[in-house]
Chain A
Amino acid sequence: MTIRTLVTTCGLALLLAAPALAQEAPIKIGFPIPLTGEIPKVGESTKFAAEMLKEEVNAKGGIEVGGKKYPLEFIYEDNESKPETAVNVTLKLIERDEVVAIVGPQSSRQAVPAGGVADENKTPMISPWSTNPDATLNRPYVFRAAFLDPFQAPVAANFATEQFSAKTAAILFEISNDYSKGLADNFKDSWTKLHGADSVVAFESHGPKDQDFSAQLTKIIAAKPDFIFLPENYSFTALIIPQARDLGYKGPFMGSDAWGSAELMKLCGDTCKGQFFSTHYAAAGATGATKDFIDAYNKKYGYIPDDVAALTWDAINIFIEAIQASGKVESDVEAERELIRENVANIKEFKGITGNMRFDENGDPIKCAVVVEITDSGEFSFVKSVCP
């Protein structure tokens, strides 16, 4: 054995033994989240989901990148549900704590300004819950985990085509509500793309304080649609569906995530049962990894996780996958941030508990939404995930 081979062998052995010998410096992720203020429950869900994930990962010694294990370190900062505080704490996380990535803030009011700070400082950020397009628009470093509101339109169109074998659709929406109006317009586009120019047979609106919809519904029913799309708040839904039944409509309805309130069933009762709507995530009837997450969370904290917790879970996992995909961890913080951003943007398909996703050029996810059915017991039960 020559000296050269000896050195090589020893070197190899050392290299292989390295992960077991010394733990690498932790990967730091920052959380500017609303732990106090108007929406403390949102902050709590975020922190609970993050802590659960961190414990799980660190119990295995950390995340494995290029043969080495890096533990996770999460830093939580309270943004007090205020935009200005969100900006300050985000800056603090970037400059003082030198985090390589940021998860949060949750609501758009804080995510829009904080996203600007993250983008200027070239730090990758994922807001799990924000739905305002401005949070990620023209910000290459900012991503989100929830789909944008209008995004449900193609989902509803595809689902209704399959589930109801529908060829024609009618739409009733609230003219004074941007959410409802936007979704109605988008749905009309998606539907006509699928079924031709005249396939939306009725497109009716109502005002913000209306209680009687019989005129619009009569017009809709006369047009004989295969189903009615209702991008409405739950309080309107609870009035519209019974009125349509009274007018002799027997077909199905399809709704959007604004239906998803516990109050819907209290107000609507039996007439809403059996209808479908699209949403971010469904706890009832979940399967696979989603069910594992729900069970673990419920066991640890004693209640069913909401969509914030599920989306946060996915957001952190997106970063973990991006870090692993790069195959190495740069010791320089700025280089590492750049690497993570690139790999998040390049994710081909991320399998999340709120659906599979990848990102478009704006950093918005292209993901499948969940369609739930209102069961006879009044639960919102998972039917399938539908892709646009």
Chain B
Amino acid sequence: MDLFQEFLQHCVNALQWGSFYALIALGYTLVYGVLRLINFAHGDIFMVGAYIAYFVATFFLAQSGWGLTHIMVLILTVPLTMILTSMVGVGLERVAYRRLRRRGAHRLYVVITALMCGLILENGNLALLGASRKKFPDDLIEKVNWDFFGISVTNLKVLVIFAAVIVFVLLHFIVTRTRIGMAMRAVSWDKFALPLMGIPLDRVIVFTFALGSGTAGLGGVLFAMSYPVLEPYMGVMIGWKAFIAAVVGGIGDIRGAFVGGFLLAFVEVMVVFFGWSTLREFFAFSILLGILWVRPTGLFGTAPTTKI
């Protein structure tokens, strides 16, 4: 493998890893764009998504009487996990954030509440399921390993990248081209004038949370398939990094989250490519800091009143 091949292989790796950042960052940015709320529990919703996928998949795999093939199990697992995970996200909004918002709590309090919700999800999982790690069934799809001129690509990697792109296109379409998307943009514009126009504020917010958490749930399924060792704290680090990716891209902008996620992955991978794996995070985040230094609102960021 010469240097160019190695470089291309790194690019493929970065595309896969960036897809996960992008899927999580999209959830951050949706909620922020609408509510100006940094939902710090989002990384843990992603973790819950992975666990839900685990339970759904093992449940279906255990029903040998139903005659399900593994690919059918996967086809059932993906939507079910997305629905269940969005219910968790909506539940969180209903229990924790809505009350504070109605009482006119300062945004800072809601952000702290989000942090606490994340800790509750992590430790609730730890208490419920124990510290021992779960193994996600790795035979949902027959793994195929393609070799393009010395570059290894598995079908799972291609699936992950495609999923991220499709989700991005869909979300972008929903936000910019549909009525509910228009309502979401309206909420971010002025949520006090909105009810006067006859737009149901709560319903729009619930929809936003459902959308963001569903995306995290899809990320959870794909992540569990790619990295089949699940533990309660798996969402923390990747959640933080995805948040940073969203900020660098310009939080509140869907294109920003998508581009930011891939940018972060590329920077991380290229740091290793140039031989500094020991200082991977150090260099990666220094570079991102440099980007924010030049563009404090992120790559796609604009004036704060016109987000999403």
Contact = CB atoms under 8 A, between A and B. Distances in A.
A219 B280 contact: no
Interface stretch (A202-210, A286-294, A306-314): A202-210
Given A205-B278, A209-B236, A266-B135, A215 B229 contact: no
Given A205-B278, A216-B277, A218-B6, A211 B238 contact: yes
Given A175-B278, A204-B272, A248-B152, A214 B234 contact: no
A238 B229 contact: yes
B122 interface: no
B272 A248 contact: no
Contacts of B156: 246
Nearest to B136: A267
A contact face: mostly helix, strand, loop, or mixed: helix
Interface string B274-308: 01011011000000000000000000000000000
A247 B152 contact: yes
Nearest to A237: B229
Interface string A217-250: 0110110100000000001001100100011100
A235 B229 CA distance: 8
Task: Among A205, A211, A218, A221, find the residue whose CB has the most chain B CB atoms closer than 10 A.
Answer: A218
Interface stretch (B10-18, B90-98, B108-116, B167-175): B10-18
A219 B16 contact: no
A204 B277 contact: yes
A214 B13 contact: yes
Given A209-B237, A246-B152, A269-B138, A215 B13 contact: yes
Per DSSP, chain B at the interface is helix
Nearest to A266: B135
A222 B273 CA distance: 10
Interface string B219-239: 000010001110101101110
B145 A246 contact: yes
A263 interface: yes
A206 B277 contact: yes
B229 A267 contact: yes
Contacts of B237: 209-210
A24 interface: no
A204 B147 CA distance: 24
Nearest to A222: B6
Contacts of A266: 135
Contact of A212 (B5, B138, B227, B277): B227
B13 A221 contact: no
B234 A211 contact: yes
B125 interface: no
A239 B227 contact: yes
Interface string B174-204: 0000000000000000000000000000000
B272 A216 contact: yes
B133 A235 contact: yes
A246 B154 contact: yes
B55 to A, nearest CB: 17
Nearest to A247: B152
Interface in A181-217: 204-207, 209-212, 214-216
A263 B9 contact: no
Nearest to A214: B13
B132 interface: yes
Contacts of A221: 1
A204 B276 CA distance: 8
Contact of B147 (A209, A224, A248): A248
B44 interface: no
A215 B152 contact: no
Contacts of A248: 145, 147, 150, 152
A304 B236 CA distance: 39
Contact of A218 (B13, B138, B223, B268): B13
A222 B14 CA distance: 16
A263 B135 CA distance: 10
B133 A214 contact: no
A244 to B, nearest CB: 10
A263 B134 CA distance: 10
A358 B13 CA distance: 49
Given A235-B133, A248-B145, A214 B278 contact: no
B10 A215 contact: yes
A263 B132 CA distance: 8
B269 interface: yes
Contacts of B133: 235, 263, 267
Nearest to B16: A214
B94 to A, nearest CB: 30
Contact of B233 (A209, A215, A242, A267): A209
Nearest to B157: A246
A239 B9 contact: no
A215 B135 contact: no
Interface in A158-175: 175
Contacts of A218: 6, 9-10, 13, 273
B284 to A, nearest CB: 11
B227 A211 contact: yes
A151 B234 CA distance: 32
Nearest to B156: A246
B152 A207 contact: no
A246 B268 CA distance: 20
Q: Which 10 pairs across A and B sit closest by C-beta, in order of nearness?
A: A248-B152, A214-B13, A215-B272, A209-B237, A222-B6, A215-B269, A204-B277, A211-B227, A218-B9, A247-B152
Given A215-B10, A235-B231, 5 more contacts: A207-B281, A209-B233, A211-B234, A222-B9, A269-B138
7 contacts: A205-B278, A218-B10, A222-B1, A247-B9, A247-B152, A248-B147, A263-B133
